[in-house]
Each structure stands twice: as structure tokens, then as C-alpha cells.
Amino acid sequence: MGAPFNDEVVTIKLGKNSGDPIVITVNCADKIGLTCDFARVIFDYGLTVVRGDVSTDGKWCYLIFWVLPRPGSPRRFPWAMLRKNLTSICPPNPAQLFFGIYSDPKPPKVYVLQISLLDRAGLLNDMSQVLWDLEFSIQKVKASTTPDGRVMDLFFVIDNRDMLHSEKRQVEACNRIKTVLGESATHCEIRVVPDLGTMDCASFSLLRPSIIEDLCKLSLTDSETDAKSVYANKNVQATQDLQANKGLQATNFIQANGSLTSKISVTIDNSLSPAHTLLQISCKDRKGLFYDVLRTLKDYNIQISYGRLSTNAKGICEVDLFILQADGRKIIDPQKQTCLRSRLEIEVSHPVRVKVVDRGPDTELLVASRVEICGRCRPRVLYDVTLVLKTLDISIFTADLVRYAMGDLQWEVYRFLLVDRPDLLLESSRTRSHITERIENMLIG
């Protein structure tokens, strides 16, 4: 128990006693957004960051995370797999570049996994878990139920081991899936996807634009431009006008959803450091909080030089970050500060959107979350949502996952067509509110 895994880049030291935090230490070359990448992996493994320290000079970083497994985590936690994944996202150090032992990674291949089996409650949740265990990242999913009670599932996945091209890995994956899902899984096939981009928005043809716009409405609405350009110095007057508009829209959103942000404090201060802007956030701790803060800063191309996160006994999280713009300067412009502050307030309070709507005579559940500028999506959404539906004993008739562009922002939207039953009136506003509340609590509670 206390001995760290031997690795010069990432070490994981388990607690001596049950309930003690696990200490994850990272020491590697730095880049903008790297801390967010680490926080995302930690979030994906179901760990809660209770404390964190960040230090970097812009070229090299030293990070420490004190984490705890969430309730329900397996007793034999895959620490070695976590360390491997954390190490894989570290940038190359100068020695690797100098001696030519590092090359830019190729874009990962996307495979389609096709499964056919008898329908049953909780099937999609079990599938999402087994794919995670196999180290597959789900890019898209399409699940449908046939009149004879069979399910045809299509999962578009990336193999994090980069071995799915081999027959041995494919056989291993299909055997594992059939073992978990049972004898009714009669068909399992894996093949390379030639082009995934053509399917991006096809599933939205039957969904009213007003529903999507309401679901994906952020404070920055239709006039949002690429977050990377927010702090660019080109066309200063146009940028300032846009930021002022964003700040006003954010204020309107917060006023309309005051209960979401009433306990969130975001402060930007330039008086305490001659070289850095101090960003302070205080709010109630929740699932994925650290990731959502860092994701927002990464989208704005903001560099973190020093930082600390801590959670007190009352569950209040305090985040102190010394930050710089991409050009190495402090954030002085009041309009830029307003834009960043408003965006953080909303991303901290409302990172996912859940809505239950009518789809003709049927009931559809929609769950939306922001996609990072780099294209990565929020972890664990499919598993968490299907787990709630499984515990509520609500069956899924069809499901799909697509990405929707709203301006220059991308959203990942899950669509679930729910199966009605006599003892559960899905058209009831009370039932829909209960489903929405349970899913929101699972995703960010």
C-alpha cells in the first residue's frame, strides 16, 4: 500500500490506511491545457480531486493531485492503467526531440463495433462499462430495438491500446463482450470506419432546431466564436465589442438561472502579482469541478503558472490560479475579465444540459455537454445516464450520440427514445422532472 509505482514521469502513491487520499504526481514537459488533460483522465477513472497543486515555468510542470475513489469504485482499482494513460499524454521532453526518439502521434483509427443480442434492462449501461474496461473510447453510438425484441448496437470506438487492427485484439474484445452480456449476444463484428465525419449531424434531421438551441444555449449563444481567438490581439475593437456582448449575454443567463450560480464566486485580481493574474473560484464541490474549470481555461488558451485547489470539511472548494494569456501577459482588459468570469460561472454551475421532450407520441431524453476545442468530449456521460435509467427501470428503445455545431462551439448530444409503460407515465411533468433531476445529480452531483 504506500509504495509508488516506479516511473519518472507519473507516480501514484496509495494511502497507508483505508480512506486516505491517493497522491498522483506528474513531472514532465509542459504545454497550455496539459493540466486539463490530466484532470480529464482522472475524472474519467471516477476519481475525485480533493486537493491539487500546480507549478510550471511554461516549459516544465510539476503537478500533484490528491484523489479519492468515488463510492461504488471497484476494490481492485486499475492504478497501473491510470498511470499508463496519464503518462501517454505527457508532451515529449527536449531530449526525446533532440535524439529523434519521439514522433508526432498519428490520428487514431476509428472502428465500428456491431453487436446483436436480446434486449433487456440496463443493456446499454453494461455495454458502456465493458467497453471502458477494454480501454475503448466511444466516439458515437447508435442503438435500436427490432420488433422481435432484439437490439442492434453500433459503437464507433477508438482503441486506447492501438491494437484493434490485430485479429487477436478483436477476438479478445468480442469474447469479453459476450461473456459480460451473456449467451444472447449472437453477433459481434469489428471493422475499420473509412469516414466518420459524414455522420455528424444526420440524426438531427427529425429534431426541431428550437429544442437544440434551447438545450445547447450557453451564455455566449449564436455569436460565440472560436474560444482560441478570444484573447487574440487582431482587430482589437471588434474583439472588444464581441466580448462586451458576451458579458451581457452571460449576465442575462445568470440572472435567469440565479439558483445555479448563487453560491459561486469568481474573482479576477491583478494587484497581488506583478507578472500574473490571480483567478479565485469558490463554490460547492461537485463531480468534475476541477476538470470543468481547467477545460474552460484551456478553451480560452490560458496558461496556468501556479495553482492550488482544496476542499474543506463543509464541501466548499477553493481554487486559486495564477494565470497568463497565451502571449505571456496578464489579463488587464475589463471586458476580457468579464467574459472569462461569466463563462466560468456558467461552466461551473451548468456544465451539462438535460431535457425530456416529446418526439411525436413518444418521449425522448436529451443530454448535452460541451466538446473541448481539441475535440475531446466529457467523460462518463453515457455510463452515468444509462445507469440512472437502469436504476429507474426505464428501458431505451433507441439511442444515438452525435455532435452538433452551434456557431463555432461543438456540443455532444445523447438522444434516448424511452419506452413507456403503464405504471410510469413519461408524459407526466412530475415524472420528467424526476428523471431530469436524477440524471443531473448523477452527472455533476
Q: What is the pLDDT of residues 136-147, one digit of tens each?
A: 988 889 998 888
pLDDT band at 283 (very low <50, low <70, confident <90, very high): very high
> What cell numbers appear for 16 in the block?
497507508
Rounded distance between C-alpha atoms, residue 148 and residue 160, angstroms: 35
Q: Which of the pair, 129 or 6, is modelled with greater confidence?
A: 129
- In degrees, to the nearest 5, what angle opens at C-alpha 304 toward C-alphas 301 and 305? 140
The confidence score (pLDDT) of residue 403 equals 82
* pTM of structure: 0.83
Question: What pLDDT is stored for residue 265 in this prediction?
Answer: 93
Question: How many CB atoms are closer than 10 A to CB 368?
Answer: 22
Cβ–Cβ under 8 Å, residues 29 and 93: yes
Contacts of 316 (CB under 8 A, 6+ apart): 282, 283, 284, 285
> Phi-psi bin for 362: left (phi > 0), alpha (psi -120 to 50), beta?
beta
Over 50: is that where the pLDDT of 246 sits?
Answer: no
The mean pLDDT of 402-415, rounded to a whole number, is 82
177: which residues sit within 8 A by CB, 6+ positions away? 115, 127, 130, 134, 185, 188
pLDDT on residue 17: 85
Query: How confident is the model at residue 269, as a pLDDT?
Result: 95
Write down the pLDDT at residue 253. 43
Q: Does 210 score more than 80 pLDDT? A: no
List the beta bridge partners of residue 318: 282, 310
Residue type, 38: F
For residue 215, give the 3-state DSSP assignment.
helix
**Among residues of the chain, what percentage have pLDDT more than 70?**
80
CA 174: distance to chain centroid?
A: 27
pLDDT of residue 105: 59
pLDDT recorded at residue 267: 95
